[in-house]
Amino acid sequence: MYQSLKAVLMKAYGRGAVNVGDEGGFAPPLRKTKDALEAIRRSIKSAGYSQSDVRMGIDAASSTFYDGRNGVYRLDGKKLDSGRLEDFYASLRDEYGLLTIEDPFEEGSFNHFASITHRLGRSTKIIGDDIYVTNVPLIRKGIRLKATNAVLIKLNQIGSVTETVRAIDECARARWEAVVSHRSGETEDPFIAHLATAYGVSFIKAGAPARGERVAKYNELLRIGEELGARAKFAGKRFRR
């Protein structure tokens, strides 16, 4: 997949399109959101897979394009209120079969998160990152308001293993998904691979396999899988929640 996407981007945008950012992801000169999803869809097909084999998701990081002064989101050359932005995400979900949508609204918008979760949450995981920052009181608020159905868990965001485990346990009690995640500035320490396995989470977010600090997590998961043997479980196509 990685090499396939690299080839697709180089063909469309030139060699500069495969320069990588902090998390190992490519940084091509895309103009619109759909350009990225179309490139990934082409690369899935080029690699010999179908969209049922490889499911897509997005980290919208909506706080980065939210205009707080005017209360609108500036996206793809348009100014969208929360309702129109929700409609946009719904159209992306339908067109590209998105399995996950992370941070669809700016970090304080609990009610808007709840709206999209009510609308799309049966087939799509609405993941909260900036809205919760791995903080148990904020996660509890989200549970009370039914703001999301999944939480991004970042160990060094909250500060200790104990607090991280409390956040994961809070998600488990609510029957929400906990998504164990890396950070933008990473090391080659593979601990989060063990954390994700130990707590049986369905997702891990470790970045694109472009550099050692990202690959280290995936390699560790492979080692863990080899050690567990038949006891290892991978959701794969079976994941439909």
Bridge-based pairing state of the strands 150-153 and 203-205: unpaired
Looking at the annotation, which residues are catalytic? 23, 154
Q: Which residues contact 13 (CB under 8 A, 6 or more apart)?
A: 28, 29
**How big is the CA angle at 241 (ends 45 and 225), to the nearest 5 degrees?**
70
111's enclosing H/E stretch is: helix 110-120
Burial of residue 48 (number of CB atoms within 10 Å: 0-12, 13-18, 19+)? exposed
* Tokens 């500069």 belong to residue: 16
